[in-house]
Structures are given as C-alpha cells and as structure tokens.
Copies of this chain bind each other. A is one copy, B any other.
Amino acid sequence: MHIALDAMGGDHGPQELIAGALLAIDQTDLTILLVGDELVLNKHLSAIPISQQSLERLKVVHAPTAVGMDENPVDAIRKKKDSSIMVAFDLVKTGEASAAVSAGNSGATLAAAVRKLGRLKNVARPGLASIFPTIKGPVVIMDVGANVECRPVHLYQFAVMASGFSRLYHVEKPRVGLLTIGEESGKGNSLVKETYALLKASHLNFIGNVEGRDVFQGDVDVIICDGFVGNIVLKISEGLAEAAMKMLKDEIVKSTMSKIGYLLARPAFKIFKKRVDYAEYGGAPLLGIKGTGIICHGKSSAYAIKNAIIEAMEMERLNINDTITRDLENGISSLAKGV
C-alpha cells in the first residue's frame, strides 16, 4: 500500500516528517510518497543514513509550493494548485496513493481533500473526528472543527461516520452519545433536541445525551457535536492538560523533597503521559470523503506521524468508507420506514 505524506507541513519541518515516514516503513510494509519540494526533501534524505531497502519504499513526489500554517485555507488551495497538500490528495485521487496524511494547515488540508476527492454518497458534510483518551479506552468525538454551523442531519451523519470509524478500535456496537448540557432528552439547544429525535429513530446504538463530564469516563464510544463545540472541547482539553502539568511541575520544583519524589514516580508519569498523549492516537481522520485523509497536529513528532500513517493504513485495510456508505444507505431506508 502507498500512503502520501505532505512532507512540507507541520511546525517541525520536513526532517521530523521524514523521520516519521521512516518509523512507519520499519513497522509496516508500506511505501511512503513524500510530497514536497524535491530539492529540499532530497537534501534532507541524503543527510541521514537510510538503508537501500528503506529508500526504495520512500519516494519523493515533487510539489513546488507549500501552504503556510497561517494562510487562508480557501485562498491558498485555489492559488497553490501545485502545493504539497494538493498534490498529496491528487495522488489519492489518481489511485497512486491509498491515503494522504498532513500535519500542515488543517483548513487547507480539509479543503484540499474535499475539493480533490469529493464527498461519499449521502454525506452532506465531511467532518473531522478526533480520538480522546479516557479512563477506559479511546472515545471518538466528531465533528471537531470542520463544520461550524450544523443541521440535525449533519450530526446524524457524523454519528454514522464516527461509528464506522470506531471499527478501528474493534468496537462491535459503538455506543453513541450526543454532547449536551443535561442528561434528559429535553436538555440542550434546538440543534441538540432535533438531533436527539433523529438519533433515537436511527439504527445506531444511541445511548442518549452525554455531558462534558462523561467525555473522559469511557462509557461511550462515539460522541457527536457540531464543529464549533467540538473544536472548543478539543482545544480546552489540550490547554487544560498542558496548564495542569505546568502548574503541578511549578509546585514540584519548589522543594528538593518533591523533586526527589517526582524522580522516583517518573516512570508512572511517563506511562500516564503516554496514555493521554495525542501522539499515540495518530491524527484526526477526515470522514465522509471518497478516500482516506488524516489531519495531524501541527506540532506532531515523528512518532505521531508514524502513528497517523499506520492509522491511515488501518482505515484502508478495514474499508471504513465502505462501512460508512453501507450504514448511511441502511440508515436512510430504516429512517424512511420509521424504524
């Protein structure tokens, strides 16, 4: 299988992305297409020791331009048709790659994917899912930022798509929850109330409303919300985890005894960090497009990139998009029958 990697995106530059590709090659039988400025990429490649065997599975595909992290996504992909992100999704379109992975400008990646590949049948709005760690196992939250204003049917479709995606975590009948501000069915804004009825009538394993406090408890596999709320949830969680760690460390360094204690407990901290680190979960899959696309955090490490590449491979191997398409078809017929 071939996976296209936007080798110009991300905060750490091409070397980190190439390192991620090398890790992925070591752990799989994938071929990675490194998309970007060939001069730059070849220079990086020649600077690191790579076996001939690995080099054969690491191909540079030239893209003369790149979209900057701060560029307006829509403008950027219209003007830069030859940018690494556009070329990466072009490779998926032509079948030269099975999936594309990018840690670059998220909005541009989203726009490029939809523009190049188009939407799956019966999908009104492709969306971004994100995997959150919980006390028990991962939970998939969708949408986390692709669609700022949503209608109930969009949220229903997110539920179908995110349920399909949770096959990646071997969940048989994913429990779907609707994110709102009270557990009773009458609670929430009008979008939530209307969506509740739609999910209740669907074939999905809908367990009802969930509140913010339930997100990290692990008693639900899929949580649905609009992209405005979902993006705030994502950023709040990242921000809180970072701030809490900083505050805790600030206190620990104030006394020698605490510092010694921290050193002794460090292995536990490391395992904890690994359990909650987004890098473990690869990237955020863009669901609802004809193809597979993964959007990674800008500051992704090589390790995170490797996991995102493997995630893309698994999504393809499990034919997640076939599941989604079939479930949307089934959903339409069962909703029509009033089931």
Contacts and interface: CB of A to CB of B under 8 A. Distances in A.
Nearest to A183: B70
A246 B135 contact: yes
Contacts of A271: 251
Contacts of A135: 243, 246-247
Interface string A107-147: 00000000000000000000000000111000000000100
Interface residues of A, number: 61
A241 interface: yes
A239 B217 contact: yes
Interface string A233-269: 1111111111110111001101101111111111111
A265 B248 CA distance: 10
What is the oligomeric copy number? 2
Contact of A234 (B134, B149, B212, B259): B212
Contacts of A94: none
A231 B232 CA distance: 12
A268 B258 contact: yes
B247 A258 contact: no
A190 interface: yes
A177 to B, nearest CB: 13
A189 interface: yes
Contacts of A214: 239
A204 interface: no
A239 B212 contact: yes
A179 B268 contact: no
B264 A238 contact: no
B267 A255 contact: yes
A93 to B, nearest CB: 28
Contact of A212 (B180, B236, B252): B236
A262 to B, nearest CB: 5
A227 B267 CA distance: 40
A228 B264 contact: no
A216 B228 contact: no
Contacts of A55: none
Contacts of A244: 216, 241, 244, 272, 276
Given A231-B212, A232-B212, A189 B240 contact: no
B231 A229 contact: no
A80 to B, nearest CB: 19
A64 interface: no
Contacts of A236: 212-213, 215, 233, 236-237, 240
Interface of A: 133-135, 145, 148-149, 179-181, 188-190, 192, 211-217, 227-229, 231-244, 246-248, 251-252, 254-255, 257-269, 271-272, 275-276
12 contacts: A135-B243, A135-B247, A149-B189, A179-B232, A188-B228, A212-B232, A212-B238, A216-B244, A228-B229, A248-B268, A260-B264, A261-B265
Given A212-B237, A261-B263, 9 more contacts: A179-B232, A181-B231, A213-B238, A232-B232, A236-B236, A241-B244, A244-B244, A251-B268, A251-B269
